[in-house]
Amino acid sequence: MSVAIVILNFNGKHFLEKFLPSVVTSSPKDSVYVADNGSSDDSIDFIKKQYPEVHLLIGEGNLGYAGGYNRALRSIKADYYVLMNSDIEPSENWLNPLVEYMNRNPQVAAVQPFILDYQNPSQFEYAGAAGGYWDNLGFPFCRGRIFDSIEKNEGQYGTSLVQWATGACLLVRSDIYWLVGGLDEYFFAHMEEIDLCWRIQRAGYQVAAVADSTVKHVGGGTLDKGNPFKTYLNFRNNLILLYKNLSGRKKWSTLLFRMGADGLAGIRYLLAGEFALIWAILKAHFSFYCYVLVHHPKQNLAHTLIKNTNTVSYPKSIIWAYFGQKKKKFSDLKF
């Protein structure tokens, strides 16, 4: 089974200098690609000079995470794709457990390693931890990370099926990736991997997190947590995620609750004087309406997807569990 490890780069020479060596040495020969997403730094010259063995794919313009990867993967022939952030340091034997698990489980179409914090490797990292879930209102969280409460990796979580795998380091079957339509380029960045994993499950396949594989992730390398553009993308894309993948009464009741929750978040930002974040939420909602009225009807959604999905989610509110019931760990939750 052939594997293509694809790093999407946008002005990330500093990350490539630091992390590309470990990716190359821990990966099969001739398997590493760097897909440049319209960088204006000297990333391309650096790769050409220092890593001639790495396949370099040069794209014009920054298409975001989703568009950048779709553009690159269309030109790559492999059985498996690995979508890897440029700020990832893989362990020495990170790839084999992922591929072996996929080979043993043909119904699993996407897997992730356990994501550890680069600065503090004894604990999980925010973006993915030990595999993701969503609650009854579509709020995402992870084994090992609920909101800002991050656990140490003490072997409490093993290999398991999950609802979504992180785009920080994601191995996916190439045929299934394209079967369900690839990443949704309207998302640009943030939550596009959750949407992909949801569609994978709607097509009848599964998603997993593999404990025998670990990588370290810096995190926040592209947009800081408090960046208004990141806030805009998160609020907008979460609404689009629910609109696309839910159906019937569940869709509309969930969206209504989520919009109410977004309003409460806006009040919190108002009280904190974070006016740029309030404007980001308002723009997110207007953009969502534009998606519903203009863009969604034009999307060529994969015909293989069933309309009603029975993917298992946390049946309660993670917000109430975390803030109301003080359940700070995944193991405190009752599914």
Residue 43, judged by CB atoms within 10 A of its CB (0-12, 13-18, 19+), counts as: buried
pLDDT of residue 216: 98
22-33 b/e with 16+ CB inside 10 Å = b? bbeebbeeebbb
**What is the distance between the alpha carbons of residues 32 and 34, in angstroms, rounded to a whole number?**
7
pLDDT tens digit string along 167-220? 999 999 999 999 999 999 999 999 999 999 999 999 999 999 999 999 999 987
pLDDT tens digit string along 66-117? 999 999 999 999 999 999 999 999 999 999 999 999 999 999 999 999 999 9
Task: Judge whether residue 306 has pLDDT over 80.
Answer: no
Please provide residue 325's backbone torsions phi and psi, each rounded to the nearest 5 degrees. -100, 0
pLDDT tens digit string along 280-297? 999 999 999 999 999 887
* C-beta separation of 166 from 193 below 8 A: yes
Where do the H-state alpha helices sit in 74-205? 95-104, 174-179, 192-202
pLDDT of residue 303: 58
Q: What is the mean pLDDT of the chain?
A: 92
- For the chain, domains (ranges, CATH) are 1-86 (3.90.550.10)
**What is the distance between the alpha carbons of residues 277 and 270, in angstroms, rounded to a whole number?**
9
**What is the distance between the alpha carbons of residues 141 and 8, in angstroms, rounded to a whole number?**
24
Asked which of 116-125, 192-201, 243-252, 270-279 is least confident by mean pLDDT, the reply is 243-252
